Structure 1
Amino acid sequence: MALPTDFDESPVRAPLAQHLAFLYPDSDPEQLADEVIAIFDQFQPQGPLPLHQLWSQEDSLLITYGDSIVDNGSAPLDTLHQFLNEYLKDSISSVHVLPFCPFSSDDGFAVIDYTKVNPKLGDWSEISEIAGNYRLMADIVINHVSSESEWFKNYREGVEPGATYFMEANAGDDLSAVVRPRASSLLRPTETSRGLKHVWCTFSHDQIDLDFRNPQVLMEFLRIIRLYLQHGVSIFRLDAVGFLWKEPGTSCIHLPQTHEVVRLIRTITDYFAPGTLLITETNVPNHENLTYFGNRNEAHVIYNFSLAPLLVHALLTGKSEYLKRWMMTMPPAPVGCTYLNFTASHDGIGMRPAEGLLSDEEQLQLVETVRRFGGRVSTRRTADGGERVYELNVSLFDALRGTVDGEDPWQVERFLCSQTVMMGLEGIPAFYIHSLLATPNDQDGVAATNHNRSINRHKWDWSDLQQRLSDKGSVHHRVFEELSRRIQLRRRMAPFHPNATQFTLQLSEPYFAFWRQSTDRSQSVFCVHNLTDAVQELKLSDLNLILMDSWYDAISGTRLDDQNAVLNVAPYQCLWITNR
């Protein structure tokens, strides 16, 4: 392909060359920069998007598989779009459709072909239609591909593209420090045209790690990003990106080259597709996760991974101590960045982000309680050859079936409290579809697949779901309607802007509370949550409400004219006390 004559004048060429020189010191960075620019030659740079246009309090995100709702005779992506338009158009602004490509395992995360939509879900037209009505987030499963992919077939046969795309290990490599999220063996013996090789598998032997030390692997993924942009994707989730770059003798996680790849992708999207957001999926301890903001030049958004285990622990024990301590140490997101707050996902409740925040005894109590409520546990291999709990596999609705003392009648209230806490925090709230729908543990799914994660990946029949959501006596109707109402309340309240000021309130142990103030300082919200199954007293004077303002609870609509009053706060009740 002939390169346009204005490549030398492109203002993005120099920063691209800097990124590429760091990653590939033995290659010509100028030539590689020209290759990158050629990939995006159809995109017209428009300048950076103003920060105030990146997100607002009106934003919230739905996480779903393309076939979480199925209807015989219809493409699941069409059914999903119908569900969004009928039930969520007034509350949800963005949709994360989990991997929608053909795959061989891990419910989509072992991608066979990134350029195609799984025909069992639909095609690119359905993806583009959803993107036309909602901000669409898609996964770039960047660390590995399926063993059934064309690239890996070519690797075994010794032909390109693919022959040099995969990470191999040699007999003398020191792999003792490698950090992994699985207990399976790291290396997979593979017969190739060049003899027996041992390929790297961070996750499973069906998910073969790519070798980004080859610049052509990077170019392949930039072409995939271009394709997704052309179909309307505007948020990219870089899956398992922390493991991307490997060097034997190191931990092979969060290496400097990995951060440089994220910075390079950020440079590209900021220049060629301003307004596109990058979110890094790094399910690791909190201090490691925060590094992916970089110097405001890596991810726009990072997952608030520690929230889920700490919040579940708080609601199961009735103790706010650990949740409060964590929140007080969390830095405000840098300008132009924010957090994605979530309490449930397709992967379950990650426990690595709780390391250093919950003691081993508290973690064990959490694990055993969730097990009593039907949950499962997945482990990971540690550097010393042992195993630790990696994640809790459970429907969040069922994880909150009771407390450490056993089941009780407060499941719905406790669950609504969990989601309301998430909605109030600094950042953008993300709702897993099975949380919105109060889906219980899918034990039949686990039995059918023999995979723990299937417990929280139920597939709803569309007509059955419609019936349950319309049945005012069903728990699904009750949860969905109240969550939708609270999301819509939140959208109208400026203190819930993702970057509005936040301070932790020092109320008594049963409460988890914080204060949010709008960016123009005209409105405040005191978010107060009773974490216990008992009625608690709340002295309004403890909140230091400004006397000149009129205050009310936005959730209940109750006016609070006497600022010296003592409120009786019901079990798991949430208050949004605001002055407007």
Structure 2
Amino acid sequence: MLKTDLAARLRPAFDDDRDAETFLLRLERYGADLEGSLRAVYGDATDTLMAELLEVLIHAHHTRAPDLKRLDEARLLRPDWLQAPDMIGYVAYTDRFAGTLRGVQERLEYLEGLGVKYFHLMPLLKPREGENDGGYAVQDYRAVRPDLGDMDDLSALASKLRGRGISLVLDLVLNHVAREHEWAAKARAGDPVYRDYFHIYPDRTQPDAYERTLPEVFPDFAPGNFTWDTETSGWVWTTFNAYQWDLNWGNPAVFREFTDLILHLANRGVEVFRLDAIAFMWKRLGTASQNQPEVHHLTRALRAAIRIVAPAVAFKAEAIVAPADLIHYLGTRDHHGKVSDMAYQNSLMVQIWSSLASRDTRLFETALLAFPPKPTNTTWGMYVRCHDDIGWAISDEDAGRVGLSGPGHRHFLSDFYSGEHPGSFARGLVFQHNPATGDRRISGSAASLAGLEAALDAGHAGWTDHAVRRLLLAHAVTLGFGGVPLLYMGDELALLNDYTFEADPAHAPDNRWVHRPKMDWALAEAVQDDPATPAARVNAGIRALIAARQRTPHLHASVESRAVPSPDSRVLLLRRDHPLGVMLCVYNFSEHEVAFPTYLLRDQLGEHATDAVAGTHFTLQRATTRLAPFRALWLTQSEAPR
């Protein structure tokens, strides 16, 4: 129960009894999570921080618009809104999708027609001028990049999206700010209050001690984790780039600032926050300073604070870490289901590309079996490709279980997707080669990595057909996994690598821009005219998969996809135990027809099944079921047809 004296103290801050009751009930519900996690991090400083936070929360509650408050109530009545099978995600850069925020408003019909309900616009808050890590060096969280529009344009877009049932998703960089941010500028000017917002050291003693166990994120162009700043007369912690200053989350003032910032943006209509670089927030000597326990306390506290004012808002953790670490971002033990609402299932993407290259799903199966079950009120974000490079996050342990060398397989994948391996169909670029570890990440569009670029260059119809089928299989896996499938802009049109980035001085040093092309609106219209083109086939296939997903309740994200041992290494089997019955997803990762033993399907499903993708009925009585190259089946239990 909320303390009577606290409730009595807070009531005069509200003009309306019902409004007061709403706030106090939520404070009663989430207050313990907020205070408990803050106390675990800040100890005795928590009392002062809680008093400051209450002022921030009450102000944000008063300034929240009526339609957003209505959305809050609707989401409280349907807490699984982010888990529903009709939740389809789309990810785009504002300028590359439609020029400006106002331009995006003119393309909402396209998104709605595609079935999108979750729309992630890549970094658009005002970055520093010049190099800015693709927008992740934020100078002002309360302003929009000037060439895209302003905050009123953002609010207007959010409102238009909300009217169509589409949630606006924005990036919120938690680990660092741009060197030009107001806080950093005040720190450089010598203000002791703001110097404590960062990690600044007078000499190399502490930085050198930390460096002994810290990895390098960008070894090619940003080696090391500390940068000497002349104005500050100190070594500043800069994990990513010299112009991105890591924040000191050990300072309670930083927590208060971000609570205020998130609520400000939520009141502008942002419904989901992608918490960027979340794994790096807490620093600890003698560790990699990633995945520290305080990160989960801080995220739980932020989530609880936002729930009090804006329960319609959800958090997505951008934690590209090992499965054993990843699950903590959704919550374990005391944090179970109370940290982020969503996290990237980054292993799924890696395993899709690994299986397409090797035509072998044993590592895929093993990696999924290693994942602990997530809280049932959370969801995964799955993707075939994203804006970032592909890092081959394959553990030595998983590789060893299927008789592979971890380093050897990662080397094979880098060779294969950079086109260096004999027989490779891929056209990718090596990103951030680290000679010390041998790691080589890969850039490239989904279509070019799947072989479409090479096939079209060769004019080979068979290769083109295989590339299209690979792409559709990859999307079938993400759309059929359960969670929020995230379609990266242009993948629905099979856009190829865009090598024009090399002519742009702002993009040339970073080859990830090869898979960040501008949207081809002419092609989007043309796919309706000639259904035989690769782009049209991919577009029609993805739309058919989305429609199948939307009508299949078995794909609710509260249900886990579990790998089932497959007798054929080319075929991946994923089982979902839904109250309506078992669903078995069957994926052939090879260009060969597979005669699959039917008994295994029958053991999982019984005598009869329906493929949710094609709507066809299967009687599982023959000795074998023939799977065409790159075939995807979403089989659900059914009765014999009359």
TM-score, with normalisation over the residues of structure 1? 0.90
Confirm whether residue 272 of structure 1 aligns to residue 290 of structure 2.
Answer: no
The aligned counterpart of 1:458 is 517
The answer for the alignment partner of 1:312 in structure 2 is 353
Aligned CA distance change for structure 1 residues 303 and 36 (closer, same or farther; 3 Å) = same
Question: Offset at 1:545?
Answer: 6.0
| 8 Å CA contact 1:54, 1:275 repeated in 2 | no
What is the DSSP-based 3-state SS (H/G/I as helix, E as strand, rest coil) of the residue aligned with 1:315? helix
Q: Which amino acid aligns with 1:377?
A: V
Shift of 1:250: 3.1
Residue 298 of structure 1, CA deviation = 0.9
How far off is 1:511 after superposition? Answer: 0.6
User: Which deviates the most, 258-267 or 49-58?
Assistant: 49-58
Matched, 1:569 2:569: no
* Residue equivalent to 1:426: 482
Is 2:69 the partner of 1:66? no
Preserved CA contact (<8 Å) 2:171 2:274: yes
Contact 1:501-1:517 within 8 A present in 2 as well: yes
Q: Is the 8 A contact 1:188 1:205 kept in 2?
A: yes
Q: Structure 2 matches for 1:239-388, cutoff 5 A?
A: 239-294=276-331, 295-352=336-393, 354=395, 356-358=397-399, 359-372=406-419, 373-379=426-432, 386-388=436-438
**Cα gap change, 1:209 to 1:297, in 2 (>3 Å):** same
Q: Which residue of structure 2 aligns with residue 190 of structure 1?
A: 229
Question: Aligned partner of 1:349: which letter?
Answer: I
1:215 aligns with 2:252: yes
Alignment of 1:229 with 2:229, yes or no, is no
2:544 matched residue in structure 1 = 485
2:167 aligned with 1:172: no
Select between 552-561 and 399-408 the one with higher mean Cα deviation: 399-408
Tell me the amino acid that sits aligned with residue 129 of structure 1. Answer: K
Residues 85 and 550 of structure 1, relative CA distance in 2, 3 Å threshold: same
Q: For 2:637 and 2:620, locate their aligned partners in 1 and report how far apart those are by CA, in whole Å.
A: 13
Q: Distance in 1 between matches of 2:439 and 2:378?
A: 31
From the superposition, tell whether residues 547 and 57 of structure 1 become closer, same or farther in structure 2 (CA, over 3 Å).
closer
Partner of 2:533: 474
Question: Which of 110, 116, 125 matches 2:143?
Answer: 116
3-state SS, counterpart of residue 178 of structure 1: coil
Q: 2:494 aligns with which of 426, 430, 438?
A: 438
Stretch of structure 1 that moved more, 462-471 or 493-502 = 462-471
Deviation sequence 1:494-530 (CA, Å, 0-9, x none) = 1111122533233311111122232x2x243321111
TM-score normalised by L of structure 2: 0.81
SS in 1 for 2:282: coil
Aligned length: 566
Write the letter of the residue equivalent to 1:186: N
Alpha-carbon distance in 2 for matches of 1:380, 1:34:
48
**1:428 Cα deviation after fit:** 2.3
- The one-letter code sitting in structure 1 at the alignment partner of 2:281 is L
Q: Deviations over 1:2-52 (max 9, x none)?
A: x9932897535554333333322352x222112112112142896955544
Hey, which of these two has a bigger chunk of helix by percent? 2
Match in the other structure for 2:43: 25
Pairwise CA RMSD of aligned residues?
Answer: 2.9
Letter in 2 for 1:509: S
Between 47-56 and 90-99, report the one with greater CA deviation. Answer: 47-56
Q: Give the Cα separation in 1 of the matches to 2:604 and 2:361.
A: 26
Secondary structure class of the residue paired with 2:142: coil
Given that 1:316 and 1:400 are in contact with CA atoms closer than 8 Å, whether structure 2 keeps it comes out as: no
Instruction: Specify the SS of the correspondent of 1:431.
Output: strand
SS in 2 for 1:346: coil
**How many angstroms does 1:315 deviate by?**
0.8
CA contact (8 A) 2:545 2:613 kept: yes
Give SS of 1:296's match: coil
Please identify, of 417-426 and 403-412, the stretch whose mean Cα deviation from structure 2 is larger. 403-412
Give secondary structure in 2 for the equivalent of 1:568: strand
Q: Say yes or no: does 1:542 pair with 2:569.
A: no
Distance in 1 of aligned mates of 2:134 and 2:524? 22
Q: 40, 47, 52: which is aligned to 2:57?
A: 40
Structure 2 residue matching 1:290: 3-state secondary structure: helix
Structure 2 unmatched runs, 5+: 1-6, 13-23, 62-68, 400-405, 420-425
Identity of aligned residues (%): 24
Structure 1 equivalent of residue 10 of structure 2: 6
Q: Secondary structure at the match of 1:138?
A: strand
For residues 363 and 561 of structure 1, the distance between their equivalents in structure 2, rounded to whole angstroms, comes to 41
CA contact 1:526–1:576 (8 Å) conserved in 2 = yes
Q: Out of 125, 135, 157, which is 1:126 matched to?
A: 157
Selected match of 2:469 from 405, 413, 416: 413
Match of 1:397 in 2: 447
User: Kindly tell me: are residues 562 and 21 of structure 1, through their superposed partners in 2, closer, same or farther at Cα, counting changes over 3 Å?
Assistant: closer
Q: 1:182, 1:380 within 8 Å by CA — same for their partners in 2? A: no
Change (3 A) 1:419 1:98: same
Counterpart residue type for residue 253 of structure 1: Q
Q: Distance in 1 between matches of 2:56 and 2:395?
A: 41
Any gaps of 5 or more consecutive residues in structure 1? none
| 1-structure distance, mates of 2:433, 2:290 | 15
Contact 1:494 1:523 in 2 (8 A): no
